[in-house]
Amino acid sequence: MVVIFGDPLALVAFARAHSPYFAELYRELPAAPSWWQIPVVDPEHYWASKAEDFDATLSGPADAGSWLWTTGGSTSRSKYVAVSREDFCEEVRAFTPAFERAGLVAGDRVANLTWAGELSASFILTGAILEGLPVQQLPILGMGDPARILALCRELRPTALLTFPMVATRLAELLRARDEVLPVAKILHAGEPLHDDQRALLRERFACEHLACFGYGAVDCGPLAAADPERAGQKTVLRPLPGYALVEIL
């Protein structure tokens, strides 16, 4: 596969030339369309077509050097996405600066509390990003027994938790139930909202003032946005990653 970032129309042309699904979707477009002529993909039709013929939506063979991940999206049905090695490496490059802007520094001991297994992408991707930073990884995972996760964190004393809001909240609720505090300098979370009551709970039970978003992406879209560093500690404001996402409000 060929990785094309920074030029949405070049990506459209590539998909049109190499994917049967997009060749049909863009069949009536002129040879050099403007961005505003590109039709919006109907999600139900796209995923239904993928279920009928997985390869028809791909722009290259899903073989050696590729990943197969699953995304739930807005439905409860598993939907599968093939990602080439080149695309994966590009996602790592896109998100690495966002992790640094979120507050990771040399010498941090990072507890990775994202998800793994059952074709989940988050632990694999975040682990690859952390490999490129001068930090120590603690691959604890976030979907296990909360009591065991907290016990490992007490023993290993991470300086940062890398996780999802729901995982961090679940751990903080257990600490509250035990009337305990587990000091952690930083909590970095994925792009879904971290609400005011969650922020208050995390600050109380982790004695943590540094709450930051490390980025937002999707299995079927790739890297989309990073948090605005000027609003660190406030409600998360995401900015599209230049060269990786073009946002259109429909």
Q: Structure tokens of 52?
A: 């009928």
For the stretch 199-218, pLDDT in tens is 999 999 999 989 999 888 88
Eight-class DSSP state of 191: S
On the question of pLDDT at 5 being above 80, the answer is: no
What does pTM read for this prediction? 0.85
Domain spans, the chain: 8-60, 88-240
Output the pLDDT for position 117: 87
Query: Does residue 180 or residue 37 have the better pLDDT?
Result: 180
Confidence of residue 127 (pLDDT cuts 50, 70, 90): very high
Output the pLDDT for position 73: 60
On the question of pLDDT at 1 being above 80, the answer is: no
Query: Does residue 50 or residue 155 have the better pLDDT?
Result: 155
Output the pLDDT for position 75: 58
CA atoms of 17 and 67, how far apart (whole Å): 22
CA atoms of 11 and 179, how far apart (whole Å): 53
Residues 6+ apart with CB under 8 A from 156: 109, 111, 138
On the question of pLDDT at 246 being above 60, the answer is: yes
Output the pLDDT for position 2: 40
Query: Does residue 105 or residue 68 have the better pLDDT?
Result: 105
Q: Supply angle C-alpha 11, 15, 20, rounded to 5.
A: 170
User: Regarding the domain delimited by 88-240, which CATH topology (the fold level of the hierarchy) does it fall under?
Assistant: Rossmann fold (3.40.50)
Eight-class DSSP state of 79: E
Cα 108–chain centre separation? 21
Eight-class DSSP state of 212: E
Q: Structure tokens of 245?
A: 């996402």
On the question of pLDDT at 3 being above 60, the answer is: no
On the question of pLDDT at 245 being above 80, the answer is: no
Query: Does residue 28 or residue 5 have the better pLDDT?
Result: 28
pLDDT-above-90 percentage for the chain: 44
The answer to whether 208 and 202 are in contact (CB under 8 A) is yes
For the stretch 133-186, pLDDT in tens is 999 999 999 999 999 999 999 999 999 999 999 999 999 999 999 999 999 999
Q: Supply angle C-alpha 69, 74, 78, rounded to 5.
A: 35
Confidence of residue 81 (pLDDT cuts 50, 70, 90): confident
